[in-house]
Every structure is written in C-alpha cells, then in structure tokens.
Amino acid sequence: MKKIFLGVTGASGAVYAKDLLKQLPLHGCETHLCVTPDGMTNINLELKKDYKTAQEFAEDTGAEAVIYDHNNLAAPVSSGSYRVDAYIVAPASMGFVGRAASGISSNLIERCADVAMKERRKLIILFRETPLNLIHLENMAALTRAGAVIMPAAPGFYHCPDNISELISFITGKIFDIIDIEHRLYKKWGSGG
Ligand SMILES: Cc1cc2nc3c(=O)[nH]c(=O)nc-3n(C[C@H](O)[C@H](O)[C@H](O)COP(=O)(O)O)c2cc1C
C-alpha cells in the first residue's frame, strides 16, 4: 500500500484536494493529510462548508486519512526516516512555493516538501495562480532543479469534458500518472477507451 502525503495550502482549488482525498484510498493508498489555516479557509469558502478541522473535511469527503496539525513538526512524517512514497501539495499557494524554494520549513507541509527533495522522493506541486511574476517563475525553476514536479492546476480539454467533475478528474489522473498509480480517471490520448 502506497503512503501518500497530501498537503493543502491556501490557493484556490479546494476541489482538487477533495478529489485527491477521495481517490487516493479508492486506489489503494494510505493518505496522510495536512491542511494550512489558509487552506482551511479556502476549503470552506469554495466548498461552501464550515469545517472546523481537517478531520471534519476528510470525514465529510468519506475518505480515510491520517491527519496532522500544520504546526506539528514532530509528526513522524516530518522525518526523512519515515517512508512516504510520494508527496503532493494541492492546491499549492505561491507563498508555499516561495517558502519551499527557499528551504523554509515553517510548517509541516513545507517541512515535508523539504524532506521529499532531500530524500530524492517524488514531490508534486499543483500550483494555482495567474498571471505569474518572475519571482513565482524563479521559485518554481528552483523547485524543479531540486527534483519537484511542478504542475499547473490547468486541465486539458482534449478529452472533451462534459462537466467540471471530468476536469478535476483529469488533474487527479495526471498526478496519479506521475506517482505510478493505475487509474481510469481520464481517457488517455490514443488509448481508445
Ligand atoms: C479566497 C482566496 C483565494 C486565494 N487564492 C490564491 C491562489 O489561487 N494562489 C495563491 O498563490 N494564493 C492565493 N491566496 C492567498 C494565499 O491564501 C495566501 O498567500 C496564504 O498566505 C497562503 O498560505 P499557505 O501557503 O500557508 O496556505 C488566496 C487567498 C484567499 C483568501
């Protein structure tokens, strides 16, 4: 069973976090979830909810997850000796991108990103911002050089989506492609089915 760390920060795009939270266990993964306070604010705003905790968010999504407080830098997942197969930050704010690119581990998600890069493990950063300034671009270039995979929260349209759910599934599917999880979340080009 793959262990996947999912960090949720205060960028727009709570639907991506919700879908990952739902799909990871359905695809045989153990999810380790951490949400920043601004991530929680956006989850409530965009999903029209009033969750007090990440636990409530996970339970309402029907997903099983190990939940961590963003301030708990003593959590097992904070150490490179704790084996995690892949780390996903989705959605990722530009604040997170800047701090991660500078090696600043001021909360558990930033620490996990730092650990992923130092241990040469998979780290996917699904950022959401537009347009981008030079600071954003340079930070993302630094993270790419350090081994992270930078993904824009920008779904394709070549699979002819009929609804928003299919756009979200496309992004979850692209993340699963990178972390080697078999799925049928979107129709792959040329697959015929
Ligand atoms: C409604 C709302 C939407 C936001 N959307 C974005 C966004 O799409 N991208 C981004 O980089 N920051 C966005 N922000 C700003 C971040 O939430 C802010 O920089 C925050 O400090 C990020 O902190 P965190 O990375 O610890 O969660 C948004 C803030 C609010 C209140």
* Number of neighbours of residue 107 by Cβ within 10 angstroms: 20
| Mean confidence (pLDDT) of the chain | 96
Q: Which residues of the chain have pLDDT under 70?
A: 192-193
Query: What pLDDT, on a 0 to 100 scale, did the predictor assign at position 192?
Result: 62
Class of domain 2-178: alpha beta
Structure tokens belonging to residue 88: 């996903």
Q: Which residues of 33-72 are buried (b: 16+ CB within 10 A; e: fewer)?
A: bbbbebbbebbeeebeeebeebeebbeebebebebbebee
Both tokens of residue 67? Answer: 């939940």
**Probe target for ligand 1 pocket from 6, 15, 38, with the most ligand atoms within 8 Å of CB:** 38
Atom of ligand 1 at shortest range from CA of 39: 27
What is the reported pTM? 0.97
Q: How far is the CA of 38 from the centre of ligand 1 (A)?
A: 7
Q: Which residues lie closer than 8 Å to 96 by C-beta, 6 or more apart?
A: 7, 9, 11, 36, 89, 109, 110, 113, 125
State residue 153's pLDDT score.
97
The residues spanned by each domain of the chain are: 2-178
Element holding 165 (H helix, E strand) = helix 164-178
What is the per-residue pLDDT for 191? Answer: 73
Residue 9 has what pLDDT?
98
